Amino acid sequence: HFEVEDTGEGISKKKQKDIFQNFTQGSVQINRKFGGTGLGLSIVKRLLTLQKSKIELESTLGKGSRFFFDIKYGLTQNKKEPEERVYEIDYEALKGRKLLVVEDNKINQMITRKILEKNEMKCDVADNGEIAIEKVRFENYDLVLMDIHMPGISGIEATQKIREFNKDLPILALTAVTIDENIDDFYLAGFNDIIPKPYKVEEFFFKIHNALKRKNVIL
């Protein structure tokens, strides 16, 4: 059911019979004040007729008009909602794990750190790829979350350099993947998995959990 109502000048009973005809308007004053050709309602009437419907009108001079009609659609009443994926995550096994977050955006750093620390995980941060390489070289991490687009060297380049001296450390790409980026390039560079931005928290922990499990960091 559709309704369109206005608070205009209204349409007299006499004019209401002809208002849906071509080139007909409510009054000469309307044409002078607002312009128009008087074709709008005629076109509406024809479109509704094609959909086996009819436009109705109620109007009072000086108060306004109400146009209304019904259209029947062949909609399915029993449409099933898509089922949300259930992620199996052992959050207890993640507690105490030390992660390196490589991200140049301070807000993203803070949000990711908060999410990890809320689950009692340890979090270190690197502002760019160069710092990340040095941190991985001299410190022990269970997993690295690597942003792709950063000033200086990219996350892909940083991962390739890390793989030159550390083949086993799980590294996950944090990126808003676009059609310009070939997903295969991430795996060829040495990433274990990709977490697309903006990420859902459950999927975020699910991918971290799986990466640690595959590398036997957790059982």
53-96 pLDDT per residue, tens: 999 999 988 889 999 999 998 776 666 666 777 888 999 999 99
C-alpha to C-alpha distance for 101 and 94, rounded to whole angstroms = 16
Superfamily for the 2-69 domain: Histidine kinase-like ATPase, C-terminal domain (3.30.565.10)
Average pLDDT value for residue range 37-54: 86
pTM for the predicted model, two decimal places: 0.61
SS3 of 46, please? helix
Q: What are phi and psi of 55, to 5 degrees?
A: -90, 140
> Looking at residue 37, what is its pLDDT?
56
Q: Give CA separation, 219 vs 11, 86, 189, 194, in Å.
A: 78, 20, 26, 22
Beta-strand pair 98-102/122-126: parallel
Maximal C-alpha separation, the chain: 90
Domain covering 91-214 in this structure, CATH number: 3.40.50.2300
> Looking at residue 198, what is its pLDDT?
84
Is pLDDT at 128 greater than 70 in this prediction?
A: yes
Least confident of 76-85, 135-144, 207-216: 76-85
Domain boundaries in the chain? 2-69, 91-214
pLDDT digits (tens, 9 = 90+) for 170-209: 999 998 765 556 788 899 999 999 998 888 899 999 999 9
Average pLDDT over all residues of the chain: 87
The C-alpha angle 140, 146, 165, rounded to 5 degrees, equals: 45
> Looking at residue 39, what is its pLDDT?
79
The C-alpha angle 106, 180, 199, rounded to 5 degrees, equals: 40
C-beta separation of 2 from 71 below 8 A: yes
Least confident of 12-16, 63-67, 127-131, 181-185: 181-185
* pLDDT confidence bin for 27, thresholds 50/70/90: low
